[in-house]
Structure 1
Amino acid sequence: MKKKLKAGFWELIARIVLKNRIVILGIIVLITIFLALQWKNIRFSFTEANLLPDTHIVNKEYNAFLDMFGEEGNLIVVGVKDDTFFTPKAFAAWDKLMNDIKSQKEIDLIVSISDLKKLQKNDSLQTFELVPFVDQSKTINQEYLTSIKKELLEKMPFYEGLLFNKKNGTIRSAIYLDKEIVNTLHRKDYIINDFIPKIEAFEKETGIDLKVSGMPYIRTLNARSITDEISLFIGASLLITSLIFFFFFRSFRATLISIIIVIIGVMWTFGLLGLFHFEITVLTALVPSLVIVIGIPNCIFLTNKYQQEFIAHGNKARALQRVITKVGTATLMTNLTTAAGFATFIITQSELLREFGIISSLSIIALFFLCLIIIPIYYSYQPIPKEKHLRHLSRNYTKVFISWIEKTVKYNRRYVYVVAIFLFLVSSIGAFKIKTSGSLIEDMPKNTGFFKDILFFEKEFEGIMPLEITIDTKRKKGVMKLSTLKKMDELQKTIEEIPELSKPISILNLVKYSKQAYYNGNPEYYDLPTSQEQSFILGYAKNATKDSKNNIMKSYVDSTGQVARITTFMRDIETGNMKKIETKLWTKINKVFPADRYKVVMTGKALVFEKGTKYLLDNLITSLLFAVLLISLLMVFMFRSFKMVVVSLIPNLLPLMITAGLMGYFGIPLKPSTILVFSIAFGLSVDDTIHFLAQYRQELTNNNWKIKKSVFATIKESGISMFYTSVVLFAGFSVFMLSDFGGTVALGGLIAVTLIFGMLSNLMLLPCLVLTLNKSLANKQEFIEPKIDVLSKPTEEEDEHLKQ
């Protein structure tokens, strides 16, 4: 009775699909139009990936920092290292460039040599005044420009590390964007359409190569690179997988419908992004290509089954019905396991991965229904397959490959185990060599101009990734107390001793500059005031910290004077080094700032990203175990045999270990992009296992429970489809290696390699395990009637036809 109900369900689906073809196609068209209308809600991410959950303490501290001081990543730096800079022509062009940029409403503040201000004592007002450093009327004189260059490098330590590098004379300007636009589309429009053209015009006029960087600039160009690669991936994956499909089937009709299906799937993916108001990030940008790569194997499996059925009985109508009734459940379960591999990211509590998991898993399930419905409907309107379209089922190269697999399993089973154990042991050693990376820029496209500029600023100014330290004095106006300033000075000296960090910026710099200004600009007095000097120098400095559009220090103390901010910039460093830096800084902080009098917090975008990477690594095992558990439960539900679950897991875990070993030996670190490899590859690799074991169970019933005969019959029956789909998946994921993003290249290459090992493991190690572990089987005990008939048994009529 249960069998009839199960078979009846898919027969009902087949009947509905084939008898209501126009209506169903109309529904698909309407859904596609509805989802296409959601594209208007698609937006690109304007910030770096935040890998931490909102409730994480690091995120809370970072958000509290933003609430107090505003967006930290609003600084754009423009640098120049050219001997011709301090010449009348170049300096005039520079002055014009800075004034043009400053005149835009998107700019909050510019600190540049051309309009640099220096502190000057005003005794009558008991304050310091900001007076022009450069006399513009004299800039046409070469000697004057040479003199101001000398004065800048030798007498302005306040600006060292911010505007110039004293060692090699590199100059830069600090451009602070309006914080209200930093995380909006307006920022992108301004940088692409206004800021960059001005930079290019200066370079064309003077022949001087400008270097540009800073988080707003990097974010904008990085997002543009992601956008450009979406079309590249979609086009390349569609082209390569379609060519492979055509090579296998030699049919324009079969290739055309496969292309149409995956294109609809891509349209639905973009529609789901818009419907849920999810951002396009470096991860969700991959989903449309994943839909193509996973969709084509679905089409291969269904088309292959249709042609096999047609050869069996020559009845097109019955063949179309059997495509749904006989492989509907198998295709559903393989897509569910694939979707499960992606869905595991939903439990990480990281918004970035959660959105990726939701969109990818929903897209895969939607794709299953598109394939299962459209392919039978399409072929119902097409002529019967021609002989040339069926030749691929008996091609020599597939016969040779399958024959080699059979011989290896039959005569060299012991060697298969030896090789498997050897690969496992060697890979285990490699896996222990894997390093982690929490770098913000490591995965950025390295052949782009903006990445080369990042390296320039790392070399000349010790990096551009902000690290922030806030010091809460727990009392109003506590920051300007000399005791607090001395403690900050100790901490800043420790920061300066760390080679990966730049010279820090804080209110302390202004206080030191105030003392220098009080002593008529003598750089020898760039230091903290003594206890005797503090009353009048700090009085002057306090007046100088009042809000002013030209006051660079206005964002380094909160409005009450209670909380101070120290900003430094980091080089691109490994996660392990970041931990050492944190330890050194916290050791100093805990020593200098008593917890009962001060509350010190370390934060900043660079630290948040590093902590996010560590969070993902800590949850990697949990995520992978969840994928294994989820897919194991599906296998139990299908086969109701614990032994078969064990047998199915071993061939799929071995490729993951091999991949981990390769990462260790080739120095590919664990990072947000490569962490995805294991769950995705496991979900895809298990598909072959399901096909094999489902076919094996059917062959057992056909061959009177003769295990060896059933195993080799399964290799012949399922081997070709497993080979075809693995080749498509390998080629499809290899497309990601065209990316300029290192993480995407690693993701595509590692998944492709894993799937090839997964195919070989499922075609060789899996049947060997089945033969070994089922030697004692002489009855049906290991194959209790499953909850789901993954493959329906042939009817008596079909059996008779096949015998004939």
Structure 2
Amino acid sequence: MFKLFTAQFWDITARLILRNKISILIAIILVTYLFSTQWQYMRFSNSEANMLPDNHEVNLTYNKFLQTFGEEGNLIIIGVKDSTLFTVDKLKAWNTFCDELKDYDAVESVISIKDLQKLIKDSANQKFALEPFIKDSITSIAQIEKLQKELFVQYPFYDNFLFNSKTKTIRTAVYLKKSIVNTSARKKFVLNDLLPKTKAFETTNNLDVRVSGMPYIRTMNSQNIIDEINLFVIAALLVTSLIFFFFFRSFRATFISLVVVCIGVAWTLGIIGLLKYEVSVLTALIPPLIIVIGIPNCIFLINKYQHEVKLHGNKVKSLQRVITKIGNATLMTNVTTASGFATFILTESKLLKEFGVVASLSILAIFILCLLIIPIIYTFLPFPKDRHLEHLNKRWIGGFVNWMERMVRQRRITIYCFSLVLLIASIIGIYQIKISGSLIEDMPQDSEFVNDIRFFENEFNGIMPVEIMVDTKRKKGVMKLSTLKRMNELEDLIIETPELSKPVSVVSLVKYSKQAYYNGKPKYYQLPTSQENSFILSYAKNSTSNVNMLNNFVDSTGQYARITTFMKDIGTDKMERIEENLQTKIDKVFPKDRFDVIVTGSALVFLKGTKYLVKNLAISLSLAILLISLFMAYMFRSGRMIIVSLIPNLLPLVITAGLMGYLGVPIKPSTILVFSIAFGISVDDTIHFLAKYRQELQTNNWKIKTSVYGALRETGVSMFYTSIVLFFGFSVFTISSFGGTVALGALVSATLLFAMLSNLLLLPSLLLSLERNIANKEVLRKPSINIIPEEDETPQDNLNS
């Protein structure tokens, strides 16, 4: 009954499409126009990608910190490492450059060498006062030498914050207004104001100026994503159209396919805008993905049309058969591919959910467009000329098909042994895979801003903020000497950790106050004793300067304190070790009944998010395998067929994972996407092969060997064609400047190549070897869905000519 319904459905669909072609084309144009109106709502993320759910413990802790101390990712740092900076003209120019940054609306404050002030003792008024290091303009080398001595020797409070006393590297801190950090105003300031001004200063003064900080990194990284979307789309169109033309040798067929996939890209961008999703590094991959996945649909449909025309010369009948005979097959394969992407919707990560929604909808959209546009356009075109049909007579890959058949006939044991060796070697390789949480690993390695990140890591031990918030559970509990000593003990551990920078907190300010009390002598830069504490604090209470400085490190109630440090770009394993060491120290130093201490910061949120995302991607892959397995079991009405269909599709995934281990490619969000994408696409070949195999069984009176070889000959060429398109299509991602995208393209291409060989060699070998238990008349008696019509030729037939 279902089989009859399916046949009737496609017959009705074909008649509707061909009889209402003008209306359908107008409808497609209108829908495309409506989607184009949604492009204006596409926006690129201005906030940092948070891969954790909103209610995750790490996010809750981070939000608690932000509520207490405000946005912590608003710092842009500008640095110079050049001995010629300490000359009168260049130092004056540097100070002027830094002062002019204060005039921009996006800037809250700028702290440079010129803004640094000494904390000095005012004995007459029993308070501390601030005195600038540079009182007037620099006019002599003597002034510069005095400044260097004071900065690099006498006042350690500022060391490793605005300068490195060992390497003489100088930097300026530019604090953006917290209200614009996560808006487009940040991008406008960085790209239109900061960068041009910095470049002009570099050129004028012949200095190498370095710029970094999280707002700057996020801006430059997102701009690279924007630039690469166009690059990927153009590259994917170029590569796939060249391959298409090579197969068909027809400008007309190639042009029609390009029109279809371009409309598909327009719909994809419209879906993103309609859903108000932000364009991320993942959703940016979908437009070229649609091109790569759409072209094989075009190959099947156009090839079927040309084959039918050559067979009986009736154009209308040919187009009707294209829809009725190929529509069901392409629907099934597109549904399985979309299902692989749709499993991301079931994860708790917003980033993955949006990727899954857009990708799955776009894949179904490109199927609908191919099915509607290609037959309709050919109704308006003249009858194909002989030169358009020449490719149907080509037998240049006959040798490849003959080789496959010989291998399955004569070398099945070799195939199994080789597969087993690959499996064992791959499993060994899998144990060598590491999880990466690196911030800059996937960024353009040769870009200026990544080189600047490394510069600041070398000079100041990192730019990724890590925050420790101490809750004393009582008002003004922070300034108790016992609390300060506990915080100092924790800071000693941070200083001993090479991956972390020198911490800044109220402890540093109190040490600086003691040094000021003893007239600036460096040896007194330490916490006061119990005896000293009372009269040093009395000086501090009378000083408005101290209160202003204190506000950066202690909340208004005096209950909460923050310790700020910066972390190098390290992997997940190292970060977990550092976090464990910090937590061990915290548990030892701060009694839980008297203190609540949390470790947070955007660096920690990023690394935790990476690990969480990898876990969710593994779940999505498992769901994809389960969903597609159930789908295939339903199609072929056999639970046993799941075994046959999964083995040749899971083996390539294992091989790819093993290669990642041997090649040192870590598991990270970009690389683990490979498995779900490749599995969803590669299983299409299995569906085509098994469907054709079942048809051959019925045609050949259930002679299994004859049917296997017949299915292999007739599907081998189509698998080869589509695999070539997919291989080179995904290879376009290797031109990316993002390491993760390069890895994604290379690994998916390799996995699909392995999958093609596995489906053409291992799958038929398994069918022959397991013929009595699986590949028999009882198992494959009546499928629930008749993918390939029994009375007609398959799309693969066409490509075998």
TM-score (ref. length: structure 1): 0.97
> Is the CA contact 1:94–1:114 (under 8 Å) kept in the aligned structure 2?
no
Q: Give the superposition deviation at 1:391.
A: 2.8
Q: Give the superposition deviation at 1:286.
A: 0.7
CA RMSD of aligned residues (A): 1.6
Can you list the C-alpha shifts for 1:524-549, whole angstroms capped at 9, x where unaligned?
A: 1111111111112223334557798x
- Pairwise mapping of residues 250-261 of structure 1 onto structure 2 (< 5 A)? 250-261=249-260
Cα 1:553/1:77, change in 2 over 3 Å: farther
Aligned residue identity for 1:74: N
> Is the CA contact 2:73–2:214 (under 8 Å) kept in the aligned structure 1?
yes
- For 1:220 and 1:621, the matched residues in 2 are separated by 30
Indicate the SS of the match to 1:568. Answer: strand
Deviates further, 51-60 or 117-126: 117-126
Cα 1:555/1:329, change in 2 over 3 Å: farther
Indicate the SS of the match to 2:84. Answer: coil
- Pairwise mapping of residues 617-636 of structure 1 onto structure 2 (< 5 A)? 617-636=614-633
TM-score (ref. length: structure 2): 0.97
Q: Which residue of 2 aligns with 1:40?
A: 40
- For 1:283 and 1:79, the matched residues in 2 are separated by 32
Q: Which residue of 2 aligns with 1:639?
A: 636
> Is the CA contact 1:50–1:608 (under 8 Å) kept in the aligned structure 2?
yes
- For 1:212 and 1:670, the matched residues in 2 are separated by 30
Cα 1:779/1:338, change in 2 over 3 Å: closer
Q: Give the superposition deviation at 1:795.
A: 5.9
- For 1:186 and 1:118, the matched residues in 2 are separated by 34
Deviates further, 282-291 or 99-108: 99-108
Indicate the SS of the match to 1:596. Answer: coil
Alignment of 1:523 with 2:522, yes or no, is yes
Cα 1:671/1:389, change in 2 over 3 Å: same
Percent of matched pairs sharing the same residue: 59
- For 1:198 and 1:544, the matched residues in 2 are separated by 37
> Is the CA contact 2:50–2:609 (under 8 Å) kept in the aligned structure 1?
yes
Q: Which residue of 2 aligns with 1:168?
A: 167
Cα 1:401/1:100, change in 2 over 3 Å: same
Q: Which residue of 2 aligns with 1:16?
A: 16
2:567 to 567, 570, 573: 570
Q: Which residue of 2 aligns with 1:131?
A: 131
- Pairwise mapping of residues 101-116 of structure 1 onto structure 2 (< 5 A)? 101-116=101-116
- For 1:545 and 1:568, the matched residues in 2 are separated by 26
Q: Which residue of 1 aligns with 2:755?
A: 758
Q: Which residue of 2 aligns with 1:728?
A: 725
Deviates further, 368-377 or 114-123: 114-123
2:765 to 746, 763, 768: 768
Q: Give the superposition deviation at 1:343.
A: 1.3
Q: Which residue of 2 aligns with 1:801?
A: none
Q: Give the superposition deviation at 1:775.
A: 4.1
Q: Which residue of 2 aligns with 1:713?
A: 710
Indicate the SS of the match to 2:389. Answer: helix
- Pairwise mapping of residues 252-401 of structure 1 onto structure 2 (< 5 A)? 252-401=251-400
Indicate the SS of the match to 1:119. Answer: strand
1:747 to 744, 750, 755: 744
Indicate the SS of the match to 2:530. Answer: coil
Q: Which residue of 2 aligns with 1:802?
A: none
Can you list the C-alpha shifts for 1:199-229, whole angstroms capped at 9, x where unaligned?
A: 1111111101011110011111111111111
Q: Give the superposition deviation at 1:116.
A: 1.5
Cα 1:553/1:360, change in 2 over 3 Å: farther
Can you list the C-alpha shifts for 1:565-624, whole angstroms capped at 9, x where unaligned?
A: 111111111211111101111110000000000001111111111111221233343222
- For 1:778 and 1:650, the matched residues in 2 are separated by 15
Indicate the SS of the match to 2:38. Answer: helix
Q: Give the superposition deviation at 1:242.
A: 0.6
Name stretches of at least 5 consecutive residues in structure 2 with no aligned partner.
796-801
Alignment of 1:94 with 2:79, yes or no, is no
- Pairwise mapping of residues 429-578 of structure 1 onto structure 2 (< 5 A)? 429-542=428-541, 544=543, 551=548, 553-578=550-575
Q: Which residue of 2 aligns with 1:54?
A: 54
Q: Give the superposition deviation at 1:258.
A: 0.7
Q: Give the superposition deviation at 1:147.
A: 1.7
Name stretches of at least 5 consecutive residues in structure 1 with no aligned partner.
799-804
> Is the CA contact 2:348–2:616 (under 8 Å) kept in the aligned structure 1?
no
> Is the CA contact 1:213–1:464 (under 8 Å) kept in the aligned structure 2?
yes
- For 1:124 and 1:242, the matched residues in 2 are separated by 84
Can you list the C-alpha shifts for 1:282-313, whole angstroms capped at 9, x where unaligned?
A: 11111111111111111112212222222333
Q: Give the superposition deviation at 1:379.
A: 1.3
> Is the CA contact 2:632–2:642 (under 8 Å) kept in the aligned structure 1?
yes
> Is the CA contact 1:545–1:553 (under 8 Å) kept in the aligned structure 2?
no
Q: Give the superposition deviation at 1:152.
A: 0.6
- For 1:587 and 1:400, the matched residues in 2 are separated by 66
Cα 1:250/1:639, change in 2 over 3 Å: same
Q: Give the superposition deviation at 1:261.
A: 0.8
Indicate the SS of the match to 1:118. Answer: strand
Q: Which residue of 1 aligns with 2:798?
A: none
Q: Give the superposition deviation at 1:397.
A: 2.6
> Is the CA contact 2:2–2:785 (under 8 Å) kept in the aligned structure 1?
no
- For 1:679 and 1:544, the matched residues in 2 are separated by 62
- For 1:49 and 1:662, the matched residues in 2 are separated by 29
Can you list the C-alpha shifts for 1:597-652, whole angstroms capped at 9, x where unaligned?
A: 00011111111111112212333432221110110111012111122221010000
Cα 1:769/1:543, change in 2 over 3 Å: farther
> Is the CA contact 2:653–2:675 (under 8 Å) kept in the aligned structure 1?
yes
Q: Give the superposition deviation at 1:694.
A: 1.2
Q: Give the superposition deviation at 1:347.
A: 1.7
Cα 1:777/1:286, change in 2 over 3 Å: closer
- For 2:194 and 2:2, the matched residues in 1 are separated by 69
Can you list the C-alpha shifts for 1:225-279, whole angstroms capped at 9, x where unaligned?
A: 1111111101101100110000001111111111111111111111111111111
Indicate the SS of the match to 1:136. Answer: coil
Cα 1:675/1:3, change in 2 over 3 Å: closer
